[in-house]
Structure 1
Amino acid sequence: MRVLVVEDEPVISQVCHRTLDRQGFNVTLCPDGRAAQECLQTSSFDLCLIDIRTPRMSGEELFNWIKGQRPEMVPGVVFTTGDVISNRTEIFLTEANRPYLPKPFSPSELLKIINEVMASSA
């Protein structure tokens, strides 16, 4: 199972990588939406863990690109955000209709949401 982690905070990306790698996932890390877009143009992933606020291209912009260019991957998208207060983020998450993890999150919370998404798309 291949997982793309789009996260600009090194500590969080390393926690995600370590947690998912220990569970047998093949993990690719991207520091922003633009780097993730480049990965998605050449590779497929079963799951995409996308931070909503990243430099160069936001998670929202990346998700809109995925919907247009890689719609088969939409069911495997999970968002992370430290910005659950903002009205704009709340509206986006509601419209995207994808699960999300508020930051900070624990490794067990990460695995729980990943397992739920895998089960629902199986």
Structure 2
Amino acid sequence: MEILIVEDERTIAELIQESLESEGFACRTCYDGLSALELFRERQPDLIILDLRLPGLDGLEVCARIRQQTNLKDPYILMLTARGEEIDRIVGLSTGADDYCVKPFSPRELVARVRALLRRSLRHGGHPQQIYCTEHFTVDLERHIATRNLHGDKSQQLELTSSEFKLLTLFVKNPGRVCDRARLIEHLWGDDFFGDERVVDTHVARLRKKIEPDPRQPRFIKTAIGVGYKFDDAMES
């Protein structure tokens, strides 16, 4: 498996390369959009880690041009973005990105996302496997299993109800993004829900009891006052 890293901040690029190579991945690195396109055509990597903000061609344009190529390998693309940028615009179908990682990120989180993307190809011949990872959590939709990632390679399977599993899945798929109560309700019950939208708070409270070190002071599921909740699984400073 070969990975192309496209990141104009050299210290970040070196950190990514060192983290991936320590896990056995072969990596190439470049620092601008035009070089990324040249290396893509030359090497045809299995996965591209692509920064959104690049000199010259930005990450969205590079992503779009790669997806327009014919007779070349169609790689997975993991977009790197700063907090506050439009995640929907990055990971939407129009861009062709497969996943994103929000800066600042931990090397462990990045490696987990890379493994999850490449696992889709390895296990299903290119058909996406529904596995989503953050720093501390992994959700496998196909097997309906959620785990908490512990130190090292250890993990703990979480005992969740169907509603709790759905909530955690939505949060893990949207780290750093505020989910309002209306969206949470639609995700849990669809259009058939009638009642007080505050009922979702009860389900969030139950999920917190199962995943938070201290549910009274949530580390992962933060309250967005007057709106809903935000899942934050970035590395603590």
Q: Which has the larger radius of gyration?
A: 2
Is residue 6–residue 48 contact of structure 2 (8 Å, CA) maintained in 1? Answer: yes
Match of 2:8 in 1: 8
Structure 2: gaps of 5 or more residues: 123-237
CA-to-aligned-CA distance 1:47-99 (integer Å, 9 cap, x gap): 1000011001111001111110157424x1111111x4234x53232233521
Match of 1:33 in 2: 33
Match of 2:111 in 1: 111
Letter in 2 for 1:103: K
Match of 1:19 in 2: 19
Give the C-alpha shift of residue 118 in structure 1: 0.8
Match of 2:186 in 1: none
Match of 1:43 in 2: 43
Alpha-carbon separation, structure 2, partners of 1:109 and 1:5: 16
Match of 1:53 in 2: 53
Normalized against structure 1, the TM-score is what? 0.88
Alpha-carbon separation, structure 2, partners of 1:14 and 1:38: 20
Return closer, same or farther for 1:79/1:97 CA change in 2, 3 Å cut-off: closer
Letter in 1 for 2:60: E
Match of 2:88 in 1: 90
SS of structure 2 residue aligned to 1:23: coil
Match of 1:63 in 2: 63
Match of 1:80 in 2: 80
Normalized against structure 2, the TM-score is what? 0.47
Alpha-carbon separation, structure 1, partners of 2:48 and 2:97: 14
Q: Percent identity?
A: 29
Match of 2:200 in 1: none
Structure 1: gaps of 5 or more residues: none
- Of Structure 1 and Structure 2, the greater helix share is in 1
Alpha-carbon separation, structure 1, partners of 2:90 and 2:118: 22
Following superposition, which runs of at least 4 residues in structure 1 exceed 6 angstroms of deviation? none
Is residue 63–residue 97 contact of structure 2 (8 Å, CA) maintained in 1? Answer: no
Alpha-carbon separation, structure 2, partners of 1:29 and 1:110: 16
Alpha-carbon separation, structure 2, partners of 1:72 and 1:17: 22
